[in-house]
Amino acid sequence: MAESDMPFVILIDTNAMAALSLYVETCTSANLSLGVTIDELKRKFEGKGISAEYVQWKQGGINEGYKVFKYLKSKIEKFDTVQIWFSLLSEIELLDVFLDRTFDQELTRKGIPYRIRRKKPFRVQIDFNYDEKIAKYWEDIKEKLSEEGIEFDNPEKESDAIQNIIEIAKIVARYVALEPVDLYLYASGIYLRADEIYTYDGEFRNIINEKEKKIYLPEGVH
């Protein structure tokens, strides 16, 4: 590990965390430890008789999640102290991603075709246990990551954090054209003095790299 008095600070955005959660979920479903490769996961699923189409459908997101996992593990091994942050705003977005997954699974189970499912016509008509399907699922994901030494916190829990982030966002908005959520995350990265922001949003990454060379956003997809 590198010797340093300063922690290495990482901010993860919603799409990266969503991919990571999908990877963790898939490893759990396959009864494999975190860190297994995508090829190992695919062989495991195919061995269970799961259709190649299903594996292919999920493989992109799983592969991205695997890269996030390996990235975080590499930083933890390299630095004495690593701080991993995940915004409450991103967490709200992530819970909505989990809702979409749950609705899709329920509609698939009921035999609703994809062309209808993608229009999300039944969101208020499907009854399911939120605590079990969403809240507990998220807690289980965090617990499994914690077992691998990957723990993160919300910057908004710090005193006056939201107010400071908003003030930074107001300044950034004068110079950078970003969507509101991206603007908030970028301002959060500045507030946290993040060394790296991990995102799979290409437009978000390109704009920030152009405007702020001190914050490096990894390509994510290689």
How far CA 146 is from CA of 53, 82, 151, 213, in Å, comes to: 32, 13, 5, 31
- Predicted confidence (pLDDT) at residue 106 exceeds the cutoff of 60: yes
Give me the DSSP letters along 151-171. -EE-GGGSTTHHHHHHHHHHH
User: Which residues are CB-contacts of 14 (< 8 A; sequence separation ≥ 6)?
Assistant: 90, 93, 94, 97, 181
pLDDT of residue 76: 96
Q: How is the chain split among helix, strand and coil, in percent rounded to 5?
A: 60, 10, 30
How far CA 14 is from CA of 4, 47, 96, 151, 171, in Å, comes to: 29, 32, 10, 16, 23
* Window from 73-77, 89-93, 102-106, 200-204 with minimum mean pLDDT: 102-106
- Global pTM reads 0.82
pLDDT of residue 62: 86
- Predicted confidence (pLDDT) at residue 12 exceeds the cutoff of 50: yes
Closest CA to 66 of 106, 25, 101: 25
Higher local confidence (pLDDT), 34 or 126 = 34
- Predicted confidence (pLDDT) at residue 80 exceeds the cutoff of 60: yes
Band of pLDDT at residue 119, cut at 50, 70 and 90: low
Band of pLDDT at residue 146, cut at 50, 70 and 90: very high
Higher local confidence (pLDDT), 29 or 18 = 18
- Domain boundaries defined on the chain: 8-211
Q: How far apart are CA 99 and CA 97, in angstroms?
A: 5
pLDDT of residue 222: 27
Band of pLDDT at residue 214, cut at 50, 70 and 90: very low
Q: How far apart are CA 175 and CA 102, in angstroms?
A: 39
Band of pLDDT at residue 115, cut at 50, 70 and 90: low
With a pLDDT cut of 70, the percent of the chain lying above it is 76
- Both structure tokens of 35: 């860190």
Q: How far apart are CA 134 and CA 95, in angstroms?
A: 7
The label of the residue with tokens 């507030």 reads: 191
pLDDT of residue 98: 87
Radius of gyration of the chain (CA): 19
- Predicted confidence (pLDDT) at residue 221 exceeds the cutoff of 50: no
Q: Are 42 and 59 in contact (CB under 8 A)?
A: yes
Higher local confidence (pLDDT), 204 or 219 = 204
* Window from 18-22, 52-56, 123-127 with minimum mean pLDDT: 52-56
**Phi, then psi, of 18 in degrees rounded to 5:** -65, -45
pLDDT of residue 57: 52
> Whole-number mean pLDDT of the chain?
82
pLDDT of residue 68: 96
Q: How far apart are CA 25 and CA 22, in angstroms?
A: 5
